């Protein structure tokens, strides 16, 4: 039986599916599932919607694969993993990793050259418009999708909560897989809606997308730095609390 993390009430059937849908919608607003696809839609020239679909399919496929692995681990080794995560060695390692992420976040971004289009803008144009070498543009696009998903997966709390709820549900393995597929589809649904709007109402979408793209071009690195820094702080703080490092201070 599953329990709502906030209230302790049991979640079964439609309630569980509704909770998973809400979690998936939260995940759909992340950098990899929404911001990068929006940025790709801003490429000049004739848009190649198939390239956007390849990116979104790669992101969804990556999360599906991670979800299957996590569900398998949860079904076989969850008690052992919970015990391991409470050991001093694991907590000290978590503290070191968190501190490294926090310090490293200050070096993400930095000064950018302002003359001409940035390298990301040039890469975007090659990735989503016509080029002579099809594979040469699709493979970097898929690489970006995997990289974005891999960076975010550890910090996507809604996805991890969803996996936890699903792993303790009464569904059999086949049903869990189908629900997980649905979760991943919902994750990329807003980006698919934006793609549809871009195709049917390109002129009306041009200005808001351009404004959003300009903001991303200017602030993406700094935003990533903040995300990495916050994640590092939370990891280090949680480990320090568990190790009792604050007991002498408070």
Closest CA to 27 of 142, 143, 153, 144: 153
For the chain, strand residue ranges (E) read 2-3, 10-11
Decide: pTM greater than 0.75.
Answer: no
Per-residue pLDDT of the chain (250 residues; tens, 9 = 90+): 444 443 333 456 787 888 888 888 888 877 788 878 887 887 666 677 888 899 999 999 999 999 999 888 887 876 776 677 788 998 899 899 889 888 887 876 555 444 444 545 555 555 555 444 455 457 777 777 787 777 777 667 778 878 888 887 888 888 999 999 999 999 999 999 989 988 888 777 777 777 766 676 666 667 667 767 776 887 788 888 888 887 755 5
Give me the DSSP letters along 1-32.
Answer: -EE-TTT--EE-HHHHHHHHHHHHHHHTTSII
Q: How far apart are CA 33 and CA 50, in angstroms?
A: 16
């Amino acid at each position: 039986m599953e329990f709502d993390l906030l209230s302790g009430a049991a979640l079964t059937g439609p309630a569980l599916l509704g909770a998973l849908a809400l979690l998936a919608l939260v995940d759909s607003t992340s950098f990899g599932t929404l911001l990068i696809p929006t940025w790709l839609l801003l490429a000049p020239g004739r848009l190649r919607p198939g390239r956007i679909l390849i990116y979104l399919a790669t992101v969804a496929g990556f999360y599906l694969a991670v979800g299957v692995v996590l569900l398998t681990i949860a079904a076989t080794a969850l008690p052992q993993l919970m015990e391991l995560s409470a050991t001093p060695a694991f907590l000290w390692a978590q503290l070191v990793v968190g501190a490294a992420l926090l310090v490293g976040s200050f070096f993400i971004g930095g000064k950018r050259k302002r003359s001409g289009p940035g390298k990301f803008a040039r890469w975007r144009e090659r990735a989503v418009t016509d080029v002579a070498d099809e594979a040469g543009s699709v493979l970097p696009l898929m690489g970006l999708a995997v990289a974005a998903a891999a960076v975010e997966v550890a910090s996507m709390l809604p996805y991890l909560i969803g996996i936890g709820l699903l792993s303790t549900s009464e569904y059999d393995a086949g049903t869990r897989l189908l629900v997980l597929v649905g979760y991943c589809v919902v994750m990329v649904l807003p980006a698919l809606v934006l793609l549809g709007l871009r195709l049917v109402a390109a002129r009306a979408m041009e200005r808001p997308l351009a404004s959003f793209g300009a903001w991303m071009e200017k602030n993406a690195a700094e935003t990533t730095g903040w995300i990495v820094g916050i994640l590092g702080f939370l990891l280090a703080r949680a480990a320090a609390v568990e190790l009792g490092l604050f007991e002498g201070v408070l």
